[in-house]
Amino acid sequence: MSEVLRLEGVSKTYGKDGPAPVEVLHGLDLSVARGEVVALVAPSGAGKSTLLHIAGLLDTPDSGRVLLNGRDLTGLGDRARTEARRQELGFIYQFHHLLPEFSAAENIILPQLANATSQRAAAERTTDLLDRVGLAHRADHRPAQLSGGEQQRVAFCRALANTPALLLADEPTGNLDPETSDRVFEVLMTLVRETGLSALIATHNHALAERMDRVIGLTGTGS
């Protein structure tokens, strides 16, 4: 099975040169295979966000390597990292981070246009994605006019808009009540399965984690 993501010997310490360094990751190895959905479960402060930021090319490790689709991205400059992020990665955060002044559909179309997709193709894909998450009738609503669960479903569509190779999600349903969280998570899993996506999903929720292919723990020292 081919690997979409591979982290090799990744270490990260915050405030290394200051009086109170915090070692978060120490020699961490991790891989996500094509089509695999991996849960990252760990206590608060163990380093889930740090790991997702490094895997998502938003931060660099102090040592170790990050490979996406077999390509070593460790030493790349900002531009190449931005390009790889835009083409190969989709992000979902605990809070949706939708652009408030744009409609649901526009929030999903914009990243596609940034990737030079034609307006027509972007609009068609957006309609399809909104339809899949049951929000076709809310396409023209702005985020403030949507419920929390609806906003998060729009955020899922936005993360998938550019057909990324890997989806990285940080507590994607963490801000929703348990019932909505469960429902919205089901939508996310259906989307991921239907599109054959690989995903690394950080969650505190063990019941949700059990529904993924594999569960990885983090102790904060890389084990």
44 binds ligand ATP (CB under 6 A): yes
CA distance 64 to 54: 11
User: Is 24 among the residues that bind ligand ATP (CB under 6 A)?
Assistant: yes
Q: Which of 32, 37, 50, 57 binds ligand ATP (CB under 6 A)?
A: 50
Q: Does 47 bind ligand ATP (CB under 6 A)?
A: yes
What is the Cα gyration radius of the chain? 17
Q: Which pair of tokens denotes residue 6?
A: 């591979």
Instruction: Give the C-alpha separation, 56 to 75, whole Å.
Output: 14
**Of 37-45, 101-109, 141-149, 175-183, which part binds ligand ATP (CB under 6 A)?**
37-45
205 is an interface residue for ligand ATP by CB under 6 A: no
Q: Is 162 left (phi over 0), alpha (psi -120 to 50) or beta?
A: alpha
Closest separation between CB of residue 106 and ligand ATP, Å?
29
With CB under 6 A as the contact rule, the residue among 33, 42, 110, 123 that binds ligand ATP is 42
Determine the interface stretch with ligand ATP among 42-50, 109-117, 121-129, 184-192 (rule: CB under 6 A): 42-50
- Outline where DSSP puts E strands in the chain: 3-14, 22-33, 37-41, 63-68, 71-72, 89-92, 166-170, 198-202, 214-217
Distance CA 67, CA 120 (A): 33
If the CB atoms of residues 88 and 171 are measured against ligand ATP, the closer one turns out to be: 171
User: Do 104 and 141 form a contact (C-beta atoms < 8 A)?
Assistant: yes
Q: Which is nearer to ligand ATP, 15 or 178 (CB)?
A: 15
Q: Which is nearer to ligand ATP, 45 or 217 (CB)?
A: 45
Asked if 58 touches ligand ATP (CB under 6 A), the answer is no
Residue of 37, 46, 155, 201 that binds ligand ATP (CB under 6 A): 46
The length of the chain in residues reads 223
Can you give the binding site for ligand ATP, defined by CB under 6 A? 14-15, 22, 24, 42, 44-50
